[in-house]
Homo-oligomer: A and B are copies of this chain.
Amino acid sequence: MEEEKEELQYHHTMPIQLRWNDVDRFGHVNNEVYFSFYDLGKSQYFAHVCPHVNWRNYGIVAVHVQADFLSQIYETDHIAVQTAVTEIGNKSFHLSQRVIDLDTGEVKCKGMSVMVTYDLIAHESMPLKQEWIEAICRFEGKDVRRNQRKPLEL
């Protein structure tokens, strides 16, 4: 896990509907399923923060993921996935996500991904567009660009 010097603020929280089939032989939600929560949180984050983008033309794919499984999730738990963009580089950006218990606030799983944007028409990776970067920084309430040559008007 990346060290977090200050507590990360999550501005995007999405309640998750658990499915009967999410539970494995051990009676709790299988680890693999957590990544479908992260995928859903990620897609809803970008649909919300960059609503004018045609997401049929662009894919946001993970090149690296890591996750700490801190506590089991049971079928009757009320959980949500939280998503934040924490760092935007030239060719990739970092996404922090976690799964929380909505009743207790307990963090069930903490994850970080390195993502790249992909042009599905041209079939090649591409940097985040300037307007997306601005929308993300506005949503996060801070300038999350790694190289901040020029100030960003939020």
Q: Is A63's beta carbon under 8 Å from chain B?
A: yes
* Pairwise interchain contact B69-A66, C-beta atoms closer than 8 A: no
* Pairwise interchain contact A26-B64, C-beta atoms closer than 8 A: no
Interface residues of A in 27-85 (CB under 8 A from B): 27, 30-32, 35-36, 39-40, 42-43, 59, 61-70
Kindly report how many copies of this chain are found in the complex they form together.
4
Bound together, the chains give a CA A33 to CA B12 distance in angstroms of: 25
* Pairwise interchain contact A39-B19, C-beta atoms closer than 8 A: yes
* Pairwise interchain contact A39-B35, C-beta atoms closer than 8 A: no
Q: Is A135's beta carbon under 8 Å from chain B?
A: no
Number of interface residues, chain A, beta carbon within 8 A: 32
Bound together, the chains give a CA A59 to CA B24 distance in angstroms of: 12
Q: Which one of B17, B43, B59 contacts A17 once the chains associate, using CB atoms below 8 Å?
A: B17
* Pairwise interchain contact A32-B35, C-beta atoms closer than 8 A: yes
A36-B65 contact given A24-B24, A25-B25, A27-B25, CB 8 Å threshold:
no
